[in-house]
């Protein structure tokens, strides 16, 4: 259970004198960190194209209000489980609603507060931020033992040779790979690590392209790599992804790529080149209200994803008599 539980908090007394505990996981803490980094990147990129922090904050909060609940709802529909999350499902919902959400914000809050969010630049900033967030978020999957790859013993020759001796081996009956996949102590494809490296590298390259004033190209690169890999990597996963041979998440990833390419081609070609100012974007982060906003988002995400509903704890407290 190393790196799985961050803390256990007593919640109620047991008949034997002990306490029932609520577990808070490293999964939640690392996920909250990933959201925080993604939001910070988004604020810098959006600020670099002249969008005020209040506009980005409203967009981010609106998007999170839709996507965070969707992570449970989609998992419930696809995997028939009530106590799990799916980043893939949340991202799919986000990809579909972003253009409409931006249009709505521009017409309401934008008109009221005198700001305008350029659709393509915002779409690109979100895609780049997602690459960073998902890349860092895979550390959470490693800590909880979820999103795991297939056993190397069941892997074709090329992949088996590539990952032999480099695979992940999880221990602990409370890890998802153990209680759900019965693969405790089995070497599996280190899919979470591969995804983390690929997405983080994609985020770095896409951010550089964005800050070089080519948001459309950054958007296409980030979208194709992240959603394309999401579809392909499903073929290497061993956890339950639905009953179909082609999983719903593979279909979502494929639709995400097509939808993104269509969006990039349909949005005004003038958006292909957008002047950026990295210093201005970075300077916008140094704002007390914005820092409090980021801290609030971190806390909400931690409490939402970090409070374990599939594990429990029994706690006992005592006095060290020799220290009285």
Q: Is the pLDDT reported for residue 244 higher than 80?
A: no
pLDDT tens for residues 18-30? Answer: 899 999 999 999 9
- What per-residue confidence (pLDDT) applies to 1? 65
Cα–Cα nearest to 53, from 300, 216, 286: 286
- 10 Å CB burial of residue 243 (0-12, 13-18, 19+) is exposed
Cα–Cα nearest to 201, from 132, 155, 265: 132
Banded model confidence at residue 154, pLDDT cuts 50, 70, 90: confident
Backbone angles phi, psi at 133, to 5 degrees: -65, -45
Banded model confidence at residue 241, pLDDT cuts 50, 70, 90: low
Task: Give the integer Cα–Cα distance in Å for 250 and 155.
Answer: 19
Task: Give the integer Cα–Cα distance in Å for 230 and 122.
Answer: 22
Choice among 13-17, 151-155, 174-178, 305-309 with the minimum mean pLDDT:
13-17
Q: What is the mean pLDDT of residues 82-87?
A: 72
Task: Give the integer Cα–Cα distance in Å for 110 and 90.
Answer: 25
Question: What is the rounded average pLDDT for all residues in the chain?
Answer: 88
Instruction: With beta carbons less than 8 A apart as the criterion, state whether 15 and 246 touch.
Output: no
Sequence-distant (≥ 6) Cβ neighbours of residue 45 within 8 angstroms: 121, 124, 125, 128, 129, 207, 210, 211, 276, 281
Q: Where are the domains positioned within the chain?
A: 36-66+86-143+192-298, 150-189
- What per-residue confidence (pLDDT) applies to 70? 83
Banded model confidence at residue 270, pLDDT cuts 50, 70, 90: low
The reported pTM is 0.89
User: b/e per residue, 161-181, with b = 16+ CB within 10 A?
Assistant: eebeeebbebebebbbbbebb
Cα–Cα nearest to 117, from 131, 104, 102: 102
Choice among 36-45, 216-225, 243-252, 313-322 with the minimum mean pLDDT:
243-252
């Amino acid at each position: 259970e190393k790196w799985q539980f961050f803390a256990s908090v007593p919640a109620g007394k047991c008949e034997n004198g002990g306490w029932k505990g609520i577990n808070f996981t490293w999964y939640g803490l690392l996920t909250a960190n990933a959201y925080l980094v993604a939001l910070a990147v988004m604020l810098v990129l959006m600020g670099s194209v002249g969008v005020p922090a209040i506009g980005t904050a409203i967009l981010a909060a609106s998007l999170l209000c839709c996507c965070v609940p969707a992570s449970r709802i989609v998992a419930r529909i696809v995997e028939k489980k009530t106590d799990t999350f799916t980043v893939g499902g949340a991202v799919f919902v986000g990809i579909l609603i972003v253009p409409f959400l931006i249009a709505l914000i521009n017409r309401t809050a934008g008109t009221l507060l005198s700001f305008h969010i350029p659709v393509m630049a915002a779409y690109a900033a979100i895609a780049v931020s997602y690459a960073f967030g998902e890349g860092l978020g895979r550390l959470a999957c490693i800590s909880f033992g979820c999103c795991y790859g297939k056993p190397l013993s069941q892997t074709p020759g090329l992949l088996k040779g590539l990952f032999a001796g480099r695979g992940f081996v999880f221990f602990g009956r409370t890890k998802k790979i153990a209680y759900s996949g019965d693969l405790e102590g089995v070497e599996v494809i280190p899919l979470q690590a591969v995804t983390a490296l690929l997405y983080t590298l994609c985020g770095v390259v896409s951010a550089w392209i964005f800050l070089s004033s080519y948001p459309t190209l950054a958007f296409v690169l980030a979208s194709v790599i992240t959603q394309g890999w999401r579809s392909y990597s499903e073929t290497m996963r061993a956890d339950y992804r639905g009953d179909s041979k082609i999983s719903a998440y593979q279909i979502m990833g494929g639709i995400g790529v097509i939808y993104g390419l269509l969006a990039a081609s349909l949005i005004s070609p003038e958006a292909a080149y957008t002047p950026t100012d990295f210093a201005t974007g970075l300077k916008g982060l140094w704002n007390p209200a914005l820092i409090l906003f980021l801290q609030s988002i971190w806390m909400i995400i931690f409490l939402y994803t970090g409070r374990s509903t599939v594990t429990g704890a029994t706690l006992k407290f005592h006095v060290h008599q020799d220290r009285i």
